[in-house]
């Protein structure tokens, strides 16, 4: 993967990951007792299960605008959200395995009747990304990942508002992209995102602790313990 001008560099991703580990270590002494975990590969060396290289470049850049790094709290890239999305699209969600996908289809139906595309979410990503990239080139002169941050935000806003000419069967693309990004930010880290539970640490969600018997009714008392994941990691 090449460097993205004006974007956090590959080095930046690496630094972000290292910083995440550092924050987690500061959060409590528990980490010291846990066995040292092998750090995951940098995002540009991650072995994708669904996305091709061009899709990966787009999703990396889009996630980085939907939940940017910088300011308070980790960004989507710090949390390895693109890994989450890649794995989700290769799994039951991406293949619409649980959904009713028999025709006839009316993808332009009244949206209140819900999802009506003949395409699975994974297919929607695959078909919508090139359409949006062409729109970015026509309207902003370059592929999405090469645009300045403010232009990327404007392009994503156009996508959100349905202004980029997606066919009706692709119209849920932005909603999937945004929802999947937030899912990857906040889901259990076992799914590949929320790396080191950084998003949980940031908001103060304790994860899978699962027992707060003495806590109901306490007034203005902040719960003191950091999160645990389903696999037993602590942050």
Partner 1 sequence: MATRTDPKKDVVIIGLGWTGAIMGMELANEGLDILALERGDDRSTVPDFQYPNIFDELKYAVRYDLMQKPVNSTLTVRHNTQETALPYRHLGSFLPGDGVGGAGVHWNGQNWRPQAVEYRLRSYVEETFGADIIPEDMQLQDWGVTAEELEPHLTKFESVAGIAGKAGNINGEIQEGGNPFEAPRSVEYPMPPLKNTWDSELFADAARKMGYHPFPRPSANASIQYVNDYGMQLGPCNYCGFCERFGCNNYSKSSPQVCILDALKRKPNFSYKAKCEVLKIEKAADGKTATGVTYFDDNTGEEVFQPADLVLVCAYSLHNVHLLLLSEIGQPYDPDTGEGVVGRNYSYQMTGGTSLWFKDKVFNPFVGTGSGGMTIDDFSMSQIDFGKEGFIGGSYITCGHTGGRPIQQMALPPGTPAWGAGWKEAVGEWYGHNLSIGSHGSNMAYRDTCLDLDPTYKDRHGRPLMRMTFNWKDNDIKMTQFMKARIEEIAESMNPDAMASGYKGDGAQYDVRPYQSTHNVGGAIMGTDPKTSAINRYLQSWDCHNVWVMGASAFPQNIQYNPTGAVGGLAYWALEALRKDYLPNPRPLM
Residues of the shown chain interacting with partner 1 in the complex, contacts defined by CB under 8 A: 65-68, 70-73, 75, 92-93, 96-102, 104, 106, 109-116, 153, 156, 160, 178, 181-183, 186-188, 191, 199-200, 202-213, 215-223, 228, 230, 232
CB of residue 190 to partner 1, shortest distance in Å: 8
CB of residue 5 to partner 1, shortest distance in Å: 20
CA dihedral sign, ordered 184, 189, 190, 192: positive
CB of 6 or CB of 39, closer to partner 1:
6
CB of residue 220 to partner 1, shortest distance in Å: 5
CB of 33 or CB of 213, closer to partner 1:
213
Cβ neighbours around 65 below 10 Å, total:
19
Backbone angles phi, psi at 141, to 5 degrees: 85, 0
Tokens of 214: 């003495």
Q: How long a stretch of residues is the chain?
A: 235
| Cβ atoms of 38 and 6 closer than 8 Å | no
CB of residue 152 to partner 1, shortest distance in Å: 10
φ/ψ region of 207 (left if φ > 0, alpha if ψ in -120 to 50, else beta) reads: left
CB of 17 or CB of 69, closer to partner 1:
69
CB of residue 221 to partner 1, shortest distance in Å: 7
CB of 136 or CB of 197, closer to partner 1:
197
CB of 42 or CB of 107, closer to partner 1:
107
| Cβ atoms of 14 and 41 closer than 8 Å | no
DSSP letters of 19-43?
A: HHHHHHHHH-THHHHSPPPPPPPPG
Distance CA 195, CA 202 (A): 12
């Amino acid at each position: 993967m090449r460097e993205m001008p004006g974007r956090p560099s590959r080095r930046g991703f690496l630094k972000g990951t290292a910083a995440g580990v550092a924050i987690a270590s500061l959060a409590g002494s528990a980490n010291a007792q846990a066995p040292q975990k092998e750090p995951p590969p940098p995002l540009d060396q991650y072995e994708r299960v669904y996305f091709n290289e061009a899709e990966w470049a787009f999703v990396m850049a889009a996630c980085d605008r939907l939940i940017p790094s910088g300011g308070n709290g980790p960004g989507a890239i710090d949390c390895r959200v693109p890994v989450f999305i890649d794995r989700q699209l290769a799994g039951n969600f991406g293949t619409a395995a649980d959904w009713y996908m028999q025709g006839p289809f009316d993808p332009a139906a009244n949206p209140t009747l819900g999802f009506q595309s003949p395409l699975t979410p994974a297919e929607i990503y695959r078909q919508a990304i090139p359409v949006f990239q062409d729109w970015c080139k026509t309207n902003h002169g370059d592929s999405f990942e090469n645009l300045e941050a403010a232009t990327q935000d404007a392009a994503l806003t156009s996508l959100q508002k349905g202004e980029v000419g997606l066919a009706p069967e692709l119209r849920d693309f932005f909603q999937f992209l945004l929802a999947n990004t937030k899912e990857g930010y906040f889901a259990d880290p076992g799914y590949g995102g929320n790396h080191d539970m950084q998003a949980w640490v940031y908001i103060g969600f304790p994860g899978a602790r699962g027992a707060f018997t003495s806590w109901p009714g306490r007034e203005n008392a902040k719960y003191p313990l950091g999160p645990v994941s389903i696999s037993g990691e602590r942050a």
